[in-house]
Chains A and B, each alone.
Chain A
Amino acid sequence: MKEDFRPQQDEIKERRDSISVKGGQKKQLKCDTHSVSGCVSQRACVYCGARVVLNPVTDAVHLVHGPIGCASYTWDIRGSLTSGSSLYRNSFSTDLQEEDIIFGGEKKLASAIDELVAKHNPKLVLVYSTCIVGVIGDDLDAVCKAAAARHGIEVIPVQSSGFIGNKAAGYRAACDVLLRLSLPQTANPLPKQQYTINYLGDFNLAGEAWMIKNYLAEIGIKINVVFTGDSSYETLQKASATSLNIIQCAGSMTILAEQMEKRFQIPYMNVSFLGMEDTAESLRKIAAFFENKEFNKNTERLIAREEAKVGHVIESAKQLFAGKKAAIYVGGGFKAISLIKQFREIGIDVVMVGTQTGRKDEYDTIGELVNEGTVVLDDANPSELEKFMTEKGAHLLVGGVKERPLAYKLGIAFIDHNHDRKHPLSGYTGAVNFAREVESTLCSPVWKYAKEGPHHG
């Protein structure tokens, strides 16, 4: 099958290798590169990557060392829930001014840390660097080290100058911090707690980490630490005392899992709790790891019970959605893979898949999963989303806040998969929520008015 899109006059040559069509000319999708300037990339920066991963550490002071915008635009934007402190829901900033840029911001930063420690008495202060801090050369390490000594608490710099890469570099910076926090405080390694695991790459959006915790508890497995949903300074320190790391958000957390395997001999596996199929498969995988017959039995009982409970909802959704086509544009490749499967579960074919920061191996998997003719794009922009959704006749798009108005303006249904959503999409509850959300948007009467009307004569 030939490529079924034609280069247009307004095509940007540098973007050509970042777009592929399954069954089209064989080529390797270009990914993990810098965004092409002027193309309205949907990607964010290093600071953003670090901030979204670390922000759910609930009892930390998250202090942004930089001008006000960086703190302003990231204030409480995650729907991460807490069972303890709410300190993370504040946005602290040194609010750098022109004179700080000229004379350096180190003194201001030191005073800011002092003020915040005095007021909030935290055990942990995370100091994020932003673009200009990297340029003016403030010595974040030194300021943090001195503050830590002064107050007797952890004050950790997060090296997240915006321009030194993209969001993925921010994930790495966050993982560096998390690893540092996980290092045992004593010379001896912490004893491994039996039948416990760490849950990496879940940010407890709408309580999703709690939901998975309940499933695992029923099987007989305890969650040791969640990175970073509803985590705290103290829980993070116990991270090395466990037998297995499971990773939900592979994009942000694989680096940490690799490091923990190297240092603490904790093996890791990827899991996904999006959709019934992935949820069941992941629970089985986790249970199997412990080679405990009781666990396997408990898992099967849980799966059978939950599937009986929600199976008919998914089945009837499938009937309802027959013939519908979906487009995906999300942050990470692993999430895109889960979504392709989840759409299949409810009878919807995926015709376009894009991610912000997908990796080569993830795009390979995507390529295997999708049907002939499906368009796959890395770092897509609104023009490309519009073009391919229109060409492929997508009926709905799943994406984030920025993509929603575009879909709606095109008269296409939309599913929120962003981090400020207020309903869980994980596990069996999430599978039902997902199906219902698809129904609420695909089956809304609104599209009738968007199609018909006086303007159509």
Chain B
Amino acid sequence: MAKNTSENPCKMCMPMGGILAFKGVANAMVMLHGAQGCATYMRRHIAEHFNEPVDVASSSLNEKGTVFGGDENLKSGIENMMRLYRPEMVGVLTTCLAETIGEDIDRITSEFLIEKNLDGFPLVPVPTPGYGDSHFIGFFYTTRKIVEKLAIKTSPTKKINLIIPNISPADIREIKRIMNLFALDYTLLPDFSDTLDAPFSRPFKKIPGGGTPVDQIAAMPGARATIQFGVTVEEGLTAGAYLRDKFGVPLYNVPTPVGIECTDQFLQLLSEISDVPVPQQLQQERGRLVDAMVDAHKITYQGRAAVFGEPENVYVLARACHEMGTTPVVVATGSKANKLKELLQLYLPADTDTAILTGADFSTIQEFALEKEANIALGNSDGKVLTEKSSIPLIRVGFPVHDRKGGQRILTVGYAGALNLLDLVTNTLLEQKLSRYRQSMYDSFYRQNT
């Protein structure tokens, strides 16, 4: 029976994903067209995960604007924001409110640019109704809209486009390291590895350094290929598909390189595109990973994992668990993610007892985790309910991580990321066993007999 209630959501709204995508563009500022609360809440949410100042403006739509249209609020808002921040690129995202009252942000923003003599300024409006889908879709769709707006026909380059999902700054840096080991030239979008994980430096910058430069985005159509980590998302929503359909850039849509198999696949692809063998250093890292997997295999085989979060991430995390012998007994996302089930079933053995849940909330995830006797969970901080209510230990990965420090530094990609995940899973399972076995043996055998 379909529920009419979400009980503890396992997703956020579209503009949230849109903000993250815009934060990956160099010198960009973003504005939410809607009531003041949306921007404040999303800023708080993002700031707490990354421990960085996250400035997001709001058009502060009030009753008047809601009734008579928000043209004035949006235009004066963009102007104020530009005066305060002097951005080189501006993103405008709608909210539920703006969408429901039918705000035409394409028209309003075009008018604004003409009125202010800013013709040609990169201003990217993106419709992201909060009721449309989750933040996961907001992220991919905004990335596509950025490319749609900025990309222009360019003469061919040697570059590779990399379109990434919502992974951690540490993950983005690892992807870049791998690209550099292959000596490949690339454009990675959106790149918030610096903007949302900025080094301490003076003087303070209102817009932190880093991000994909606008001119590089513009030149993406000249690339020799696009690699996109977006297998669970509808292709039509992605930047990679746009670059292929509009400019003929070959698209390789592959899983995020999490775990050994997906990393192998990514490196193989890079090797083929560049005609360069996998660098020695990465081969050594793979060797160390396998060595560690051997060391841990009997422990990890005991794992029964509940994996939850954004579809792209849970898909690869579930596969990574499976590789190390840990059964993913629950794989869940709050997004609609129609492709997730089909994709996962290709990799999980037919007899694996896995519940694949889409459009799920935490009350459902909890129910299945208990039924399937999960003894470990992997996902964002919201999964702390699994620990609080059902004593299932949680390994924090994904977004948001609010109740621990270092969400931005959690590494899951590449062989290094796989090793990190392996250690986390192994040690969590060990901790659970070692901290309890004396008491549980005593309770099971000694007390019973006396």
Contact = CB atoms under 8 A, between A and B. Distances in A.
Interface stretch (A64-72, A200-208, A234-242, A301-309): A64-72
Nearest to B198: A409
Interface string B60-100: 11110110000001101111111111100000000111001
A135 B100 contact: yes
Contact of A383 (B5, B13, B41, B206): B206
Given A41-B36, A163-B97, A93 B43 contact: no
Nearest to B78: A38
Contacts of B5: 63, 92-95, 111-112, 115-116
A90 to B, nearest CB: 6
B210 to A, nearest CB: 14
Interface stretch (B129-137, B151-159, B162-170, B263-271): B129-137
B38 interface: yes
B78 A115 contact: no
A111 B7 CA distance: 14
B97 A108 contact: no
Contacts of B60: 34-38, 41
A405 B43 CA distance: 11
Given A41-B36, A73-B44, A98 B79 contact: no
B180 interface: no
Q: With a 10 A CB-CB cut-off, give which of B36, B56, B73, B334 has the most chain A CB atoms.
A: B36
Interface in A39-77: 39-48, 63, 66-75
A131 B97 contact: yes
Contacts of A71: 6, 9
Contact of A10 (B8, B16, B83): B83
A8 B100 CA distance: 38
Contacts of B334: 68
Contacts of A164: 62-63
A68 B101 contact: no
B207 to A, nearest CB: 11
A283 B134 CA distance: 49
A43 B36 CA distance: 7
B66 A135 contact: yes
A91 interface: yes
B59 A48 contact: no
A402 interface: yes
Bin chain A's interface residue count.
35 or more
Interface residues of B, number: 74
B76 A37 contact: yes
A115 B41 contact: no
A96 interface: yes
Given A66-B96, A115-B5, A131-B97, A40 B11 contact: no
A41 B97 CA distance: 18
Interface SS of B by simple majority: mixed
Given A41-B40, A93-B9, A450-B200, A115 B3 contact: yes
Interface stretch (B46-54, B254-262, B340-348, B435-443): B46-54
B80 to A, nearest CB: 3
Please indicate which of the listed interface residues A12, A36, A46, A163 has the most CB atoms of chain B within 10 Å of its own CB.
A163
B55 A40 contact: yes
B193 interface: no
A40 B134 CA distance: 24
A45 B204 contact: no
Given A44-B36, A409-B198, A455-B201, A38 B100 contact: no
B124 interface: no
Nearest to A381: B84
A211 interface: no
Contact of B45 (A44, A45, A73, A408): A73
B9 A91 contact: yes
Interface string A302-323: 0000000000000000000000
A146 B2 CA distance: 22
Contacts of B37: 43-48, 70, 162
A45 B129 contact: no
Contacts of B51: 404-405, 408
A417 to B, nearest CB: 14
Contact of A94 (B4, B34, B65, B206): B4
Given A115-B3, A136-B100, A163 B62 contact: yes
A391 to B, nearest CB: 13
A223 B445 CA distance: 50
B3 to A, nearest CB: 7
B6 A402 contact: no
B321 interface: no
B310 interface: no
B7 to A, nearest CB: 6
Contacts of B212: none
Contacts of B85: 383
B41 A44 contact: yes
Q: Which of A45, A90, A455 neighbours the largest number of chain B CB atoms within 10 Å of its CB?
A: A45
B200 A409 contact: yes
15 contacts: A37-B59, A37-B80, A40-B81, A69-B41, A70-B37, A73-B12, A75-B9, A90-B7, A98-B132, A115-B3, A131-B35, A135-B97, A166-B36, A402-B40, A402-B54
Give the 6 A-B CB pairs with smallest separation, nearest first: A45-B37, A69-B13, A38-B77, A38-B80, A37-B77, A73-B41
Given A10-B84, A95-B9, 12 more contacts: A36-B60, A37-B59, A41-B36, A41-B39, A41-B60, A42-B40, A68-B9, A75-B8, A131-B34, A135-B100, A382-B53, A402-B47
